[in-house]
Amino acid sequence: MAEIDKKREQIIESAIRRFSHFGVQKTTMNEIADDIAVSQPSLYYYFPDKTSIIVAVVEKVSNDYFEELEKILAETECLKDIFFQIIEFRRNFVKKFFMMHLTDSSADAIIRDNCDEILQESRLREIKIVAGILNSAIEKGEIAEIDAENVSAIYLDSLTGLCMWIISKNQKNIFPESKHWDAMVARQRELAEIFLKSLKYKDRSTCKV
Amino acid sequence: MAEIDKKREQIIESAIRRFSHFGVQKTTMNEIADDIAVSQPSLYYYFPDKTSIIVAVVEKVSNDYFEELEKILAETECLKDIFFQIIEFRRNFVKKFFMMHLTDSSADAIIRDNCDEILQESRLREIKIVAGILNSAIEKGEIAEIDAENVSAIYLDSLTGLCMWIISKNQKNIFPESKHWDAMVARQRELAEIFLKSLKYKDRSTCKV
DNA sequence: TTTTGACTTTTTTAATAGTTTGGTCAAAAA
DNA sequence: TTTTTGACCAAACTATTAAAAAAGTCAAAA
């Protein structure tokens, strides 16, 4: 790897560490510079501003998530197991965001203005991946024929929604306790089972069953 | 109705009107007092403090919701129609909250500390109502036997989650545009259809279908 | 190409005074 | 006794300012 990329990675790692401990707002450029033992102007040689470091961090966390995801897709067969694994990975992904205070109102504007595109692309990428899983299950005759991409979107949006709702509902202190993360995962699993069940059958008219 | 209750209702109505226009924070006790043509101390004769007015407003909005809900339960037969109606009523309910700025971070603490119980009870009440709908559908043989209360909870939590997620995702300005409310309702309907489909069938083992 | 000391500019923070608003009370009115 | 109010206080919010800290720049050196 080029020397410059190595330094960039060091910076991102330091940023993630500090963001996780103290939050984005309370991490200064000087502190990051000190971590990798260079002066502040050197830091600006590798990243034009603080925002671009934040963006790089979000990109890394997102990429790590998809890397994990690809792994289990290669290993896991059973649809339910895949769904449950995804829920588990998502828990860790969101937790990282929380720990770095990326969801705080103070950091909200920066994230909105600069990471929106990444997060939107990540959403679409994930939808496509799950749609792919569904499509291959359709091919194998495991589930009924459906609009895989659409069902995937509904499913993933519902998972994200459950996460926001359950966590925000319990977030009286700054950090959700682990039991709340567990409650969220439990609900997400129940939803997954309902989706899996509906996937197994061909459609019927829904009125006056 | 007792005279004192009449005045209390006038106060709540004025509060709702002002909250909807200017938000909770920017509505003063004096303004409410002027609206019903009494002095400020008179207002405090009917409500001990501003918080209790906010609580009363939340209670009223919540009760209005359930009143509407009970109506369609008496009139509507088809499960899908009921589900879609509920989604429509929920849209209006949440919109009211948004308009009054009850979900703003500025008002958040007051709501959290004082309306939490009401909202939690409302959630349970709604879960019970939908569970009742499901149970009567089970009795009629329209849907498979399930743990109605649990499915109801998953469903309603998912709806609430979708609402939070889709609205917050698009909320760059203070108010979500009507197209975002429409997008939310559309997604909620799609989720409802998936739930309805899964309800129609008896359970099967989910692994290695 | 990479690094840095010395620098400027922009944001935060802290303290302050001034204003508004929430809330109280004793006394009057009904 | 129930309801209303003028006069009042205390707490919360706003605006202003100065000081501190952080972000960001640049010419020159390694």
Transcribe B8-44 into DSSP letters. HHHHHHHHHHHHHHH-STT--HHHHHHHTT--HHHHH
**A130's tokens:** 């799950």
Transcribe B125-186 into DSSP letters. HHHHHHHHHHHHHHHTTSS----HHHHHHHHHHHHHHHHHHHHHHH-SSSS--HHHHHHHHH
Tell the CATH topology of B57-199: Tetracycline Repressor; domain 2 (1.10.357)
pLDDT, tens digit (0-9, with 9 covering 90-100), for B45-73: 999 999 999 999 999 999 999 999 999 88
> Amino acid identity, residue A37?
A
pLDDT, tens digit (0-9, with 9 covering 90-100), for A86-108: 999 999 999 999 999 988 888 88
pLDDT, tens digit (0-9, with 9 covering 90-100), for A24-72: 999 999 999 999 999 999 999 999 999 999 999 999 999 999 999 999 8
Q: For residue A76, how far is the Cα from the chain centroid?
A: 20
Residue B141 is predicted with a pLDDT of 92
CB contact under 8 A, B190 and A150: yes
Domain parsing of chain A, residue ranges: 1-48, 58-199
> Amino acid identity, residue B165?
W
**Helices B148-170 and A148-170 meet at what angle, rounded to 10?**
90
- Residue A177: strand, helix, or coil: coil
Residue A206 is predicted with a pLDDT of 46
* Higher pLDDT pick, B111 / B6: B6
Instruction: Name the H helices within B36-104.
Output: 40-46, 50-75, 79-99
Residue A5 is predicted with a pLDDT of 94
Query: What burial class does residue A94 get, using C-beta atoms within 10 Å of its C-beta: 0-12 exposed, 13-18 middle, 19+ buried?
Result: buried
Contact A187, A195 (CB under 8 A): no
pTM of the model: 0.94
Q: Is the pLDDT of residue B172 over 80?
A: no
- Residue B95: strand, helix, or coil: helix
Helix (H) or strand (E) holding A133: helix A105-139
CB contact under 8 A, B79 and A166: no
A interface mutation test: which of B158, B164, B199 has the most A CBs within 10 A?
A: B158
Of A80, A172, A195, which is closest to B112 when you measure between CB atoms? A172
Residue B45: how many CB atoms within 10 A of its CB? 11
Residue B44 is predicted with a pLDDT of 98
Residue B173 is predicted with a pLDDT of 66
Distance, CA of B190 to CA of B162 (rounded, Å): 11
Distance, CA of A27 to CA of B138 (rounded, Å): 57
The mean pLDDT of A69-80, rounded to a whole number, is 90
Work out whether the CA dihedral A32, A34, A37, A38 comes out positive or negative.
Answer: positive
Distance, CA of B140 to CA of B129 (rounded, Å): 17
Cβ of A29 < 7 Å from strand C?
Answer: no
Chain D positions with a protein C-beta closer than 7 Å: 2-7, 21-27
Distance, CA of B175 to CA of B85 (rounded, Å): 24
Contact A62, A122 (CB under 8 A): yes
Domain A58-199, CATH number (from 3.40.50.720, 1.10.357.10, 1.10.1060.10, 3.30.450.40): 1.10.357.10
If one looks up domain B1-48 in CATH, what number appears? Answer: 1.10.10.60
Residue B171 is predicted with a pLDDT of 77
pLDDT, tens digit (0-9, with 9 covering 90-100), for B143-154: 999 999 999 999
Instruction: Measure A10 CA to C4 C1' (Å).
Output: 19
Residue A106: nearest nucleotide (C-alpha to C1'): C12
Residue A1 is predicted with a pLDDT of 60
CB contact under 8 A, A194 and B194: yes
Reported confidence tier of residue A201, pLDDT bands at 50, 70, 90: confident
Q: Which residues from chain A sit within 8 angstroms of residue B193, using beta carbons?
A: 206
pLDDT, tens digit (0-9, with 9 covering 90-100), for A106-147: 888 888 889 999 999 999 999 999 999 999 999 999 999 999
Of A77, A142, A162, which is closest to B158 when you measure between CB atoms? A162
Residue B207 is predicted with a pLDDT of 45
Contact A50, A67 (CB under 8 A): no
pLDDT, tens digit (0-9, with 9 covering 90-100), for A161-177: 999 999 988 876 667 88
Distance, CA of A192 to CA of B42 (rounded, Å): 55
Residue A173 is predicted with a pLDDT of 66
pLDDT, tens digit (0-9, with 9 covering 90-100), for A178-200: 999 999 999 999 999 999 999 99
Reported confidence tier of residue A202, pLDDT bands at 50, 70, 90: confident
The mean pLDDT of B71-77, rounded to a whole number, is 88
